[in-house]
Amino acid sequence: MAPWYVAFILGVVEGLTEFLPISSTGHLIVTGHLLDFIGPKADTFEVVIQLGAILAVVVLYWERFVGLLKTNPTQRFSGPYGIWLLFLTSLPAVIVGLLAHPYIKKFLFTPYTVAVALAVGAVLIFIVEAMDKKDTVTTLDEITPGLALGIGLFQCLALWPGFSRSAATIMGGMLLGTRRKVAAEYSFIAAVPIMFAATGYDFMQSYQLFETGDLICLLIGFVVSFISAWLAIKGFIYLLGKLTLRPFAVYRLALAPLILLFM
């Protein structure tokens, strides 16, 4: 297992990037190569710390998640209807992911493919932000099944490491008429079932790689990821009230050639 400081660094990277439109998977691949922490055990470690980031969303939006247990007459996004929306958003990526999982792991988890995905995603962000769109959906309670499924189709782009699940779903929501901030919040909530399913599947496939002595590093990565993700989500939502996604696109374009040059 990696030293504790590697677990700490990867926890920070995962937490800060998981819900920003800059790709946590891409950053973890690059950081793992820089720290020389790669291989099956590294991949499974990244799965564990992703669970910390997922927990941060559940804590921040706990009222919405509790609301899914029972229909709230004042909130349309609640009860079975809310669960149905999340199911529709998760379904496309689950189907494509299960079919393409071996090929994605084999061919797309490299610094080169991450750099290309970062650049392509950045260009698309600029295009989406430049389009003249009308915000017809201004709250989570206005999300329809058709919109939920449409966002889910865009989420399939995130199966390309480096593209960013957050970027794919937020851009998809914006293109389909959702206000930027609402698209981001729905992206966070919708991330929980798809990420939980994906990380749970990966962990069940390779948990036996870990030994008892690895638990401390796993715990460090998990906790640091949770704290970092909590801060990143709060900061991102605040910034979206003042900025567009363009600064994140600039960051992606700046990072992509650096990866190609130094990796």
The pLDDT value given to residue 229: 96
Q: Report how far residue 263's alpha carbon sits from residue 254's, in angstroms, rounded to the nearest whole number.
A: 15
Q: Report how far residue 5's alpha carbon sits from residue 229's, in angstroms, rounded to the nearest whole number.
A: 18
* Rg for the chain, CA atoms, rounded: 18
DSSP tag of 160? S
- What's the pTM value of the predicted model, to 2 decimals? 0.89
The pLDDT value given to residue 1: 55
Which pLDDT tens digit goes with each residue over 66-114?
A: 999 999 888 999 999 999 999 999 999 989 988 987 888 777 888 889 9
Q: Report how far residue 153's alpha carbon sits from residue 146's, in angstroms, rounded to the nearest whole number.
A: 11
Q: Report how far residue 21's alpha carbon sits from residue 125's, in angstroms, rounded to the nearest whole number.
A: 9
Closest by Cα among 52, 12, 43, 40 to 223: 52
In this structure, what token pair is assigned to residue 162?
């480096």
Q: Report how far residue 12's alpha carbon sits from residue 3's, in angstroms, rounded to the nearest whole number.
A: 15
The pLDDT value given to residue 211: 74
Q: Report how far residue 116's alpha carbon sits from residue 260's, in angstroms, rounded to the nearest whole number.
A: 9
Beta bridge partners of 137: 178
Domain boundaries, the chain: 4-262
The pLDDT value given to residue 41: 79
Judge whether 112 and 260 are in contact, CB under 8 Å: yes
DSSP tag of 131? S
The pLDDT value given to residue 262: 74
The pLDDT value given to residue 195: 83
The pLDDT value given to residue 101: 78
List, for the chain, all residue ranges whose pLDDT scores fall below the cut of 50: none
Residue with tokens 């590294």, as numbered in its chain: 42
The pLDDT value given to residue 125: 97
The pLDDT value given to residue 2: 66
